[in-house]
């Protein structure tokens, strides 16, 4: 395993602590990642030195803040290989990005009798907005099924995507089972039928190299807090001509060209979508997070996480009574492992692991249709990132075994 990635742990002060008397093993990275010193210092530096509103002042602090804010936009564009910085819109989160696409673009292009296609793997953020569009526009919402090992069934995809389809919205990487979906192929199928391709990149952008031009997606959404940046900052990428078509979702300061008494006109991209005072420090810190990830190398991060999963997954599968959901091939995974333990509620499992210092997620993971599809109410979920180590994996497996034995003793 790449020692350079392991050595990055020293940059994350939060990892150097004890929880319930045990060294912290943080395995809830799919929910949010920890922040390195470099990002934390960027936030402090902005508020100590450059705190001012952007775009609206000619004084020095305002100009410096604006320069940093817009420089971060350039970093985002380069990070995902967007053709134009105007295609990068700051939002609060993946959720907000997807909602904006649905409520603005979706309602623009979807009409009565049309179809919207999503999958059984989706997060609620990529389900509920499309439910709303379908209901409002009297369209049909369709789901792509899964294979027996939890991957997207591409035969089902080809059946579901038809000439009636206007929108295909799929996660590039699934938040529950860590499945990586063939977004480029799906985009090709969608475009062959005249549909638009929207990718939820929340679980992909932090873990692998993204090239939106190669994927040929029409929109791509992701969140800063899942890739070392603060909460409250997200990104919506859209092809420039499509963003030009979209009406703004919010109105007010900054996004206008001119306001008359009875009407108004909008400014140019990307600012026509960025009404009001934005999350300036969050955007600048996202730029810092991208610097950090770029220095490590996204290909290195991707390969390292595969090694961690390849090391951990067989050990988890070997624990008697554990069911792991999704592919059992590590090469088909991000660093996400969803599992259940026979006879135990996932919340009890997560509480037991926490007593061992291991932080995992438990619940439906904002994917209740998937839970229904799997015929479970919830799962536990361990999710790795590049600052996790083989020792973390060993501790996780030891803790799972300890929890199993504890409850077995309690039952007996």
Active site residues: 366
Which residues, including other chains, have CB under 8 Å from residue 299's CB and lie 6 or more apart?
Answer: 208, 209
CB atoms closer than 10 angstroms to residue 112: 8
Cβ(357)–Cβ(25) below 8 Å: yes
- Regarding whether 262 and 306 lie in a shared domain, the answer is no
Give, in degrees to the nearest 5, the angle at Cα 397 between 391 and 399.
Answer: 100
Going 71 to 72 to 77 to 80, the CA torsion angle's sign is positive
- Regarding whether 228 and 105 lie in a shared domain, the answer is yes
- Regarding whether 273 and 390 lie in a shared domain, the answer is no
Total domains present in the chain: 2
pLDDT of 274 strictly over 60: yes
Beta-bridge mates of residue 358: 25
Is 376 inside a domain boundary? Answer: yes
Cβ(253)–Cβ(196) below 8 Å: no
Looking at beta carbons, which pairs linking 254-261 to residues 24 or more positions away fall under 8 Å? 254/55, 254/56, 254/278
Residue of 335, 377, 344, 338 lying closest to 361 (CA atoms): 338
Averaged pLDDT, 220-244: 98
- Regarding whether 305 and 271 lie in a shared domain, the answer is no
pLDDT at 374: 94
Which residues, including other chains, have CB under 8 Å from residue 112's CB and lie 6 or more apart?
Answer: 137, 138, 139
pLDDT digits (tens, 9 = 90+) for 180-189: 999 999 999 9
Is 31 inside a domain boundary? Answer: no
pLDDT at 412: 44
- Regarding whether 80 and 173 lie in a shared domain, the answer is yes
Cβ(220)–Cβ(80) below 8 Å: yes
Is 62 inside a domain boundary? Answer: yes
Residue of 180, 176, 216 lying closest to 198 (CA atoms): 216
* pLDDT-based confidence at residue 221 (cuts at 50, 70, 90): very high
| Boundary-marking domain end, from 295, 322, 341 | 295
| Boundary-marking domain end, from 295, 330, 353 | 295
| Boundary-marking domain end, from 260, 280, 295 | 295
Per cent of the chain over pLDDT 90 is: 92
Averaged pLDDT, 265-283: 94
* CATH code at position 181: 3.40.640.10
SS (H, E, C) 54-113: CCCCCCHHHHHHHHHHHHHHHHHHHHCCCCCHHHEEEECCHHHHHHHHHHHHHHHHCCCC
pLDDT of 222 strictly over 50: yes
Averaged pLDDT, 140-168: 97
Beta-bridge mates of residue 323: 340
pLDDT of 1 strictly over 60: no
- Regarding whether 390 and 350 lie in a shared domain, the answer is yes
* pLDDT-based confidence at residue 51 (cuts at 50, 70, 90): very high
pLDDT digits (tens, 9 = 90+) for 395-412: 999 999 999 998 876 554
Is 17 inside a domain boundary? Answer: no
pLDDT at 187: 98
- Regarding whether 108 and 155 lie in a shared domain, the answer is yes
- Regarding whether 320 and 236 lie in a shared domain, the answer is no
Cβ(408)–Cβ(349) below 8 Å: no
- Regarding whether 250 and 331 lie in a shared domain, the answer is no
Antiparallel, parallel or unpaired: β 196-200 and 22-23: unpaired
- Regarding whether 347 and 219 lie in a shared domain, the answer is no
Q: Give CA–CA dist 26/39, Å, rounded.
A: 19
Is 20 inside a domain boundary? Answer: no
Average pLDDT, the chain: 95
Single pTM value for the model: 0.96
Phi, psi of 175, rounded to the nearest 5 degrees: -80, -15
Averaged pLDDT, 24-31: 98
pLDDT at 56: 80
- Regarding whether 330 and 273 lie in a shared domain, the answer is no
Is 25 inside a domain boundary? Answer: no
Phi, psi of 384, rounded to the nearest 5 degrees: -100, 155
Alpha carbon distance, N-terminus to C-terminus of the chain: 41
- Regarding whether 279 and 224 lie in a shared domain, the answer is yes
* pLDDT-based confidence at residue 4 (cuts at 50, 70, 90): low
* pLDDT-based confidence at residue 3 (cuts at 50, 70, 90): low
Q: Answer left, alpha or beta for residue 357, where phi above 0 means left and psi between -120 and 50 means alpha.
A: left
Q: Give CA–CA dist 54/70, Å, rounded.
A: 9
Q: Which domain holds residue 257?
A: 40-295
Q: Could you tell me the CA-to-CA distances from 245 to 109, 214, 270, 333 in Å, in that order?
A: 10, 22, 12, 36
pLDDT at 167: 98
* pLDDT-based confidence at residue 331 (cuts at 50, 70, 90): confident
Per cent of the chain over pLDDT 70 is: 98
Is 29 inside a domain boundary? Answer: no
Is 197 inside a domain boundary? Answer: yes
pLDDT digits (tens, 9 = 90+) for 336-346: 999 999 999 99
* CATH code at position 396: 3.90.1150.10
pLDDT at 98: 98
pLDDT at 410: 56
pLDDT digits (tens, 9 = 90+) for 61-115: 999 999 999 999 999 999 999 999 999 999 999 999 999 999 999 999 999 999 9
């Amino acid at each position: 395993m790449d020692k350079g990635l392991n050595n990055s742990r020293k940059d994350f002060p939060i990892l150097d602590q004890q929880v319930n008397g045990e060294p912290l093993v943080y395995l809830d990275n799919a929910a949010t990642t920890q922040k390195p010193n470099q990002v934390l210092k960027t936030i402090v530096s902005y508020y100590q030195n450059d705190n001012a509103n952007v775009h609206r002042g000619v004084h020095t602090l305002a100009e410096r803040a604006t320069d940093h804010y817009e420089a971060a936009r350039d970093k985002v564009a380069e990070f995902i290989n967007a053709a134009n910085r105007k295609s990068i819109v700051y939002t609060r989160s993946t959720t907000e990005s997807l909602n904006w696409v649905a409520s603005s673009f979706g309602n623009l292009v979807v009409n009565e009798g049309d179809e919207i296609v999503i999958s059984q793997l989706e997060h609620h953020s990529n389900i509920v907005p499309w439910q709303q569009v379908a209901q409002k526009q009297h369209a049909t919402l369709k789901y792509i099924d899964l294979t027996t090992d939890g991957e997207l069934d591409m035969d089902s995809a080809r059946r579901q995507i038809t000439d009636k389809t206007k929108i295909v919205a799929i996660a590039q990487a699934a938040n529950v089972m860590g499945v990586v979906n063939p977004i480029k192929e799906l985009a090709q199928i969608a475009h062959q039928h005249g549909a638009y391709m929207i990718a939820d990149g929340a679980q992909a952008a932090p873990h692998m190299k993204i090239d939106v031009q190669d994927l040929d997606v029409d929109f791509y959404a992701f969140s800063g807090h899942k890739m070392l940046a603060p909460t409250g900052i997200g990104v919506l990428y859209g092809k420039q001509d499509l963003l030009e078509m979209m009406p703004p979702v919010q109105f007010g300061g900054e996004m206008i060209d001119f306001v008359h008494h009875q009407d108004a006109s909008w400014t140019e991209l990307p600012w026509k979508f960025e009404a009001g005072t934005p999350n300036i420090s969050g955007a600048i810190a996202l730029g810092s997070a991208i610097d950090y990830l770029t220095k490590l190398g996204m290909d290195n991060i991707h390969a390292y996480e595969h090694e961690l999963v390849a090391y951990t997954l067989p050990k988890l599968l070997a624990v008697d009574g554990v069911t792991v959901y999704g592919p059992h091939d590590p090469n088909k995974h991000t660093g996400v492992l969803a599992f259940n333990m026979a006879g135990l509620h996932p919340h009890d499992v997560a509480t037991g692991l926490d007593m061992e210092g291991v932080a995992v997620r438990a619940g439906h993971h904002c994917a209740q249709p998937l839970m229904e599809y799997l015929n479970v109410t919830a799962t536990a979920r361990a999710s790795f990132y590049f600052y996790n180590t083989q020792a973390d994996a060993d501790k996780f497996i030891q803790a799972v075994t300890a929890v199993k034995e504890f409850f077995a003793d309690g039952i007996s």
